[in-house]
Amino acid sequence: MNREILRLAIPNIISNLSIPLLSLVDVALMGHLDSAEYILTIGFGVMIFNFVYWGFGFLRMGTTGFTAQEFGRQDKKECLLILGRALLIAMVGALLLIALKTPLLKLSLLLIGTTPEVNAYVTDYFNIRILAAPATISLFAFTGWFFGMQNARIPMILTITVNLLNIGFSYWFVRVAGMTSGGVALGTLIAQYCGLILALAFFYKNYRHMLPFWDRLDLFDIGKMKKFLMANSDIFIRTLCLMFAFSFFKVQSGKEGIILGSANIILFEFIMLSAYGIDGFSFAAESVVGKYFGAGDAGNFRNAIRVSFQWGIGISIVLVFSFYFFGKEILQILTDNQEVINAAVPFMGWLIIAPIIHAVPFIWDGVYIGVTASKAMRNTMLLSTFLFFLPAYYLFHNVMGNHALWLALTLLMLARGISQTILAKHIVFNRLKS
């Protein structure tokens, strides 16, 4: 089981770590320009598209869970149709986003409530990056499907290629062409469409033998489409709550002032780094747990969950020590603004404990997705957001200041992990007994 988990997790970790690396490079490109406002700009720009695009992250997660179960049942026709349904939803959603881009931008700027200068930079970023919607959302569907087919190598190649292209294009547009936030967005736009072309090429090369199983009429099977949409709507709400919490953190950070807000944005990138590292084993759990759940193999099902937790917690311990010993040095790589560095140092403690606290809910997410227990994921996220995250911030902000933001984020993850653990006996293990 260790070998099977690692076969999927290691490519996931490699590809996942390239995602925050991209974000870190974007922050570094802005962090070495002549104003800290550029750091806030990229923070807010990423925040908006986390909402816009990650809201469709249900396509990645839901597609993995459903595909893995059908893979376990060896139903090639249904595996292919799941991809078709996911891509159909992706294209409809992307076109709606582009059609609604003006009201989306106005609402985003209203919620951010920052300076006119930052608003102008964010607008430039938004108007370019929104055009990547068809490619970005379709890649969610392809990535989830490849994972469900127990293939982590293709998503790894896709993610690394897209992010390296993104870094290269963004660097050229900012450093050579002299652009600012718009250059970063343009780099992302080009890289995403390159990634979509590559995904189609991988599908044709590796899975074209499944095309004879395609049935256009079954694609629109009402019962299966409803089941797919219902499960994905729960994941959508869960993801929306998580993005709300992360976005709330960034917006409130901006209200702490340019320097302290920029410090929070940089430290938050460390949070995302740990999340993507641990998520390698969460993604592996989605695939392996889903496969054995679909096959009805209770022994390997339980073993997959146990091994996923062991590896996830293990990597979180490595991250804790890395942040403890090298955190300040990484800060100096991301920005040469000494005021921002000095403002970040007092909050490093929250960062150091984050990986251990975050590991439990992240791995449970993978398990719950594998068994398509989406309603429980939704409910634990709603509880954690509205009974712990928001009350903690508003109760303690006047006393603790910026520390209240970090306390709220920590309690959010603690509440998620504890509630998912409590529900697991009924929601997860009792669904497939020995």
Nearest of 321, 302, 298, 322 to residue 310 by alpha carbon: 302
Tens-digit pLDDT profile for residues 295-341: 788 888 888 899 999 998 998 998 888 888 887 777 777 677 788 88
User: Helical H runs in 255-373?
Assistant: 258-295, 298-334, 338-344, 348-370
Q: Please count the residues of the chain.
A: 434
Average pLDDT over residues 266-275: 80
Q: What are the CA-CA distances from residue 154 to residues 3, 11, 141, 307, 385 (Å)?
A: 18, 9, 13, 23, 34
- Between CA 253 and CA 268 the distance in angstroms is 10
pLDDT of residue 254: 78
User: Helical H runs in 208-257?
Assistant: 216-219, 222-254
Average pLDDT over residues 386-402: 93
- Between CA 51 and CA 57 the distance in angstroms is 10
CB atoms within 10 A of CB 407: 18
The radius of gyration of the chain from alpha carbons, rounded to an integer in Å, stands at 21
- Between CA 68 and CA 71 the distance in angstroms is 5
With cut-offs at 50, 70 and 90, classify the pLDDT of residue 197.
very high
pLDDT of residue 412: 96
Contact assessment for residue 86 and residue 141, using Cβ atoms and an 8 Å cutoff: yes
pLDDT of 425 above 90: no
- Between CA 325 and CA 339 the distance in angstroms is 21
- Max mean pLDDT range (242-256, 369-383, 389-403): 389-403
**More confident position, 155 or 279:** 155
With cut-offs at 50, 70 and 90, classify the pLDDT of residue 434.
very low
pLDDT of 285 above 50: yes
* Structure tokens belonging to residue 336: 């040469």
Percent of the chain with pLDDT over 70: 89
Contact assessment for residue 36 and residue 320, using Cβ atoms and an 8 Å cutoff: no
Identity (one letter) of the amino acid at 120?
A
Domain spans of the chain? 2-431
pLDDT of residue 14: 67
pLDDT of residue 284: 82
pLDDT of 433 above 80: no
Tens-digit pLDDT profile for residues 18-54: 554 555 566 666 655 555 666 666 667 777 777 777 7
Average pLDDT in the chain: 83
pLDDT of residue 168: 87
Tens-digit pLDDT profile for residues 113-161: 667 777 777 788 888 888 989 998 999 899 889 988 988 889 889 988 9
CB atoms within 10 A of CB 367: 27
